[in-house]
Chain A
């Protein structure tokens, strides 16, 4: 089984460090790329669209971010409307336990799942095998 690549989009630098450590430790993913907000991520996504190889397999997306938040990112993804993007699996990872956020995530078909922080190793196993 080939290892999958993962993008972590979150403004919290400590969380980014933690995720990098955990993902590395788990040895489940081929690569891990961090983004501080949705805008940076969507720009990166657009730049790699023509090269299938560099597209991530999985995206872990935070909701609360400056400049462009999680929902803004999802809107932009929808705007791109590319066949290639269908293979990208997007998961929400948020500290929010608000029901509204969970509902909103559920109603977006492009979002595969909602994970509450903290992200555990078991969660990574699940998304890696999906």
Chain B
């Protein structure tokens, strides 16, 4: 974080850097800051290290030293020293430049001084020449002529004067300067001091610049003149200040880098007065000065630029130098850092290696499985972990003196060696087997052994690696489970039923017990290997209903118990009761399990029972019917007999008695007939050994028609028979004869009085039945009223004198006795159809 912030800072600062110079200082500042960070950082690291690792004191010390000599620090030091050097060189350079400049300025100043002095010298010459005009009497000769020449020869001088005894007496040119005449300069407050200075120095002294009486400003060069060693006065030249300044201006212009300034200490006020235009306050600027003793002036040469301004080349040099030192600093850091990084990497790698070795060592030693390195040449244990040794009850040291062959169970050794051979030959990469070892105490331990090659880095096969796992418990459990399984299997196979399991969706079987072979003849293998075996072997008549039922129950997840038939291998039909459990897992039906029980025998018995029950029921019905017969038909006769005998007893005369006896005879005959009829019915019903034979139906019909031929003729009945010669029925001949007679004669007997009787006889097939139909167009019968009684004994429904109520009763009994049935369809006044079902 800190370096990043630093960089940020630097960026922000650089945005508003005011000058290159400041930038240099800022960099310096930043470098110092960086140095601080580096120290802080290393210190923090150091304390962290202390806290976390807590190594020995020596290590700490070494670390500390190493950290102190950090590349960053060194880099910074390099930068710092280079910066110092750069700073020094730059400073030196600066000083040299300053010096050179000063010298140059002094030179310039000297030239100016010389120029000025030359002017002053010229003025001196002029003054001296003028003084020479004075004769011994102290009066000037040819003053005006000479003066004129002098002024002409010296451009700078504006006028000349002769001042005997300090009084301006002679002036040239006269006109502009006449006002000065008469001025005693030795008494004038302005002039006195400087005039006296000329006298005392006995040299020409330039006074001023001062205000001239003749107007304007000027300097006055006064040369003391002695006549016969006696002070005469002054020979003076006046240089107008403009003249002097033009000189200065001229000189000053020669170098535009400088200002020129002239000053003089005011003799009266002792205050320095500057006379030139331009800068007056320059003490803080770079300047040089020199004194002109002839006028007590000071000339200044002032550099126009600020004193602080530094040459751009120096700044460039400094910047370049600092950049270079930063660069060197960084290069040093990075150069030094490289080996250090490598060193750290090396240490890290070494640590990783060490760790991984430690890890592997602990894996090896603390593994929950036995691991051993086995020699490829003699099978000895080169290295072995504790687990391996402890599995066998040895110490690792003891194990190393053994080879794997001597501790392997002899029965398992061959298998082991075979696998090892294949491994050596390169057929396999590794192998896993289960085998037995002998423990040190002689006991056997079951292990799962996995053997593979241990290869060197070059891929060379150096030794075997064996991993063993104790599977004794598993082996015991396996044995137990096997025994348990066998027990379950034998239990399942002893059950007198087929135990099975199947997929609930497909009804494909996943298990079926061996009992299936005993019950259905199929082996469990053929059952399981064929899809849909169960479905395809259900009895065709039961298949649809069975599958529907199963699907329905499975869908509604209800355990079920049902019966159906299957076709056994030998083709026979086997009745099964299937008790099915719907197995659910997580609320979805997974499979069905059940047991099929052979109930064929039970079914047979049940059928027999049903048959006998039906028989008994039927016989009961007949018995009941018989009791009716007895009650209605026998009792009516006996009651008549009883009544008649009573009447005979109470008879008054012979004739009456005879009449009763005749009646009694009638009753007796009727009773006899009834008994014969009953006997016939009992015979039909109790006749269990009825003879059946193949009968040609048509011949029997023809025969019957011959018997009833009289009645046919009498009633002019039409008989239509569609029965052909080919129809053969298996039936009792007498019964068929009786049935045909009763039906045909009834059809003719109950003919309709309004139409010609017509009887149609036909035979049709209906399912497994032959149906004999006898239809008439007779009077018909109201089946709603009489339907229940139509086949009853002595049931008559007309006042036909031939109706005895016995024919249909016998017919019905005969048909029933042959295992068939009879159906009547009739409508009053339309006709009647009898259908006899013959099996």
Give the residue of A66, A72, A98, A117 whose beta carbon is less than 8 angstroms from that of B798: A66
The reply to whether A15 and B799 contact each other, CB–CB distance below 8 Å, is: no
The reply to whether B636 and A15 contact each other, CB–CB distance below 8 Å, is: yes
Query: Helix, strand, loop or mixed for chain B's interface?
Result: helix
| Most chain A beta-carbon contacts within 10 A, residue among B628, B632, B638, B797 | B632
Q: Is A96 an interface residue (CB 8 A)?
A: yes
| Minimal Cβ-Cβ distance residue in B for A19 | B643
Q: Given the interface contacts A95-B631, A96-B631, A98-B628, does A118 sit within 8 Å of B794 by beta carbon? A: no
The reply to whether B799 and A67 contact each other, CB–CB distance below 8 Å, is: yes
The reply to whether A95 and B799 contact each other, CB–CB distance below 8 Å, is: no
Within 8 A of B (CB), among A5-51: 12, 14-15, 17-18, 21-22, 25, 36-37
The reply to whether A14 and B631 contact each other, CB–CB distance below 8 Å, is: no
CA distance A120 to B642 in the complex (A): 10
CA distance A64 to B805 in the complex (A): 12
Q: Is A97 an interface residue (CB 8 A)?
A: yes
Q: Is A112 an interface residue (CB 8 A)?
A: no
Q: Is A119 an interface residue (CB 8 A)?
A: yes
Within 8 A of A (CB), among B646-670: 646-647, 650, 663, 666-667, 670
CA distance A110 to B459 in the complex (A): 124
The reply to whether B799 and A22 contact each other, CB–CB distance below 8 Å, is: no
Residues of B within 8 A of A120 (CB): 646
The reply to whether A96 and B797 contact each other, CB–CB distance below 8 Å, is: no
| Minimal Cβ-Cβ distance residue in B for A120 | B646
| Minimal Cβ-Cβ distance residue in B for A63 | B632
Query: How many of B's residues come within 8 Å of A, CB to CB?
Result: 27
In the assembled complex, the CB of A22 is this many whole angstroms from the nearest CB of chain B, namely 7
The reply to whether B650 and A66 contact each other, CB–CB distance below 8 Å, is: no
Query: Helix, strand, loop or mixed for chain A's interface?
Result: loop
CA distance A110 to B638 in the complex (A): 29
Query: How many of A's residues come within 8 Å of B, CB to CB?
Result: 23
| Most chain B beta-carbon contacts within 10 A, residue among A36, A72, A98 | A98
Give the residue of A66, A67, A98, A118 whose beta carbon is less than 8 angstroms from that of B631: A98
CA distance A67 to B667 in the complex (A): 23
| Minimal Cβ-Cβ distance residue in B for A72 | B785
Q: How many inter-chain residue pairs (CB < 8 Å) link A and B?
A: 64
CA distance A118 to B636 in the complex (A): 8
In the assembled complex, the CB of B639 is this many whole angstroms from the nearest CB of chain A, namely 4
| Minimal Cβ-Cβ distance residue in A for B670 | A14
Residues of A within 8 A of B685 (CB): none
The reply to whether B639 and A25 contact each other, CB–CB distance below 8 Å, is: no
| Minimal Cβ-Cβ distance residue in B for A100 | B628
CA distance A102 to B628 in the complex (A): 13
Within 8 A of A (CB), among B605-657: 627-628, 631-632, 635-636, 638-640, 642-644, 646-647, 650
Q: Given the interface contacts A95-B631, A96-B632, A97-B631, does A15 sit within 8 Å of B640 by beta carbon? A: yes
The reply to whether B797 and A95 contact each other, CB–CB distance below 8 Å, is: no
In the assembled complex, the CB of A67 is this many whole angstroms from the nearest CB of chain B, namely 6
Give the residue of B632, B646, B666 whose beta carbon is less than 8 angstroms from that of A118: B646
Q: Given the interface contacts A37-B799, A96-B632, A117-B635, does A14 sit within 8 Å of B647 by beta carbon? A: no
CA distance A120 to B796 in the complex (A): 28
| Most chain A beta-carbon contacts within 10 A, residue among B632, B638, B643, B796 | B643
Give the residue of B628, B644, B670, B798 whose beta carbon is less than 8 angstroms from that of A67: B798
Residues of B within 8 A of A14 (CB): 640, 644, 663, 666-667, 670
In the assembled complex, the CB of B648 is this many whole angstroms from the nearest CB of chain A, namely 11
CA distance A21 to B643 in the complex (A): 10
CA distance A119 to B631 in the complex (A): 16
The reply to whether B797 and A118 contact each other, CB–CB distance below 8 Å, is: no
**A-B interface, 5 closest residue pairs, ranked by CB to CB distance from nearest:** A117-B639, A95-B636, A118-B639, A66-B796, A95-B635
Could you name 6 residue pairs across A and B whose Cβ atoms are closer than 8 Å? A14-B640, A15-B643, A66-B796, A66-B805, A95-B636, A98-B628
Residues of A participating in the B interface, judged by any CB pair closer than 8 Å: 12, 14-15, 17-18, 21-22, 25, 36-37, 64, 66-67, 72, 95-98, 116-120
Q: A14-B640, A95-B638, A96-B631 are in contact. List 15 more A-B contacts (CB 8 A).
A: A14-B644, A14-B663, A14-B670, A15-B639, A18-B643, A18-B644, A18-B647, A25-B650, A36-B799, A64-B794, A66-B797, A67-B799, A95-B635, A98-B631, A117-B635
